[in-house]
Amino acid sequence: MKTQIESQKFRRLVLILIAALAVFTGRIEGWGLIDSLYYGFVTATTVGFGDIRPTQERTKLVAIVIAFLGLMMTGITVALAVEAMNNTYDRLSAEAEGIEACAQTVYALPMQHVWRLS
């Protein structure tokens, strides 16, 4: 649980950093807020449509950082999804083993203990 909270905080921090870097790039390039955030999303997800792109060297370097942060974000999201699936599988396997153990116990009892005909 603690690692999940820490990863949520880290993901939030990365998202804020991506947005801040995108707005920073947009200010230098002379873009509006919406175009800057759009650019940050497209770059972070590595889609790269090419309709908005940096023209200066320093903003091109910032684009590399945004893309790297986006890849980190994707990796964290995939890791959390895999962990959730593994936890669900483990829980369901444990429940199935418990049900199977109960069934084996019932079938192992002699019939006189299961059905009392008095």
pTM reported for the whole predicted model: 0.73
pLDDT at residue 35 tops 70: yes
Tokens representing 88? 């669900």
Tokens representing 63? 């684009």
Residue 108 is predicted with a pLDDT of: 65
CA distance 54 to 66: 12
What is the CATH architecture assignment of 2-114?
Orthogonal Bundle (1.10)
Query: Span 44-57, mean pLDDT?
Result: 92
Confidence band, pLDDT 50/70/90 cuts, at residue 116: low
Average pLDDT, the chain: 86
Confidence band, pLDDT 50/70/90 cuts, at residue 33: very high
End-to-end CA distance of the chain: 54
Structural domain boundaries in the chain: 2-114
pLDDT at residue 113 tops 60: no
CA distance 9 to 15: 10
Contact between 55 and 64 under an 8 Å Cβ cutoff? The reply is: no
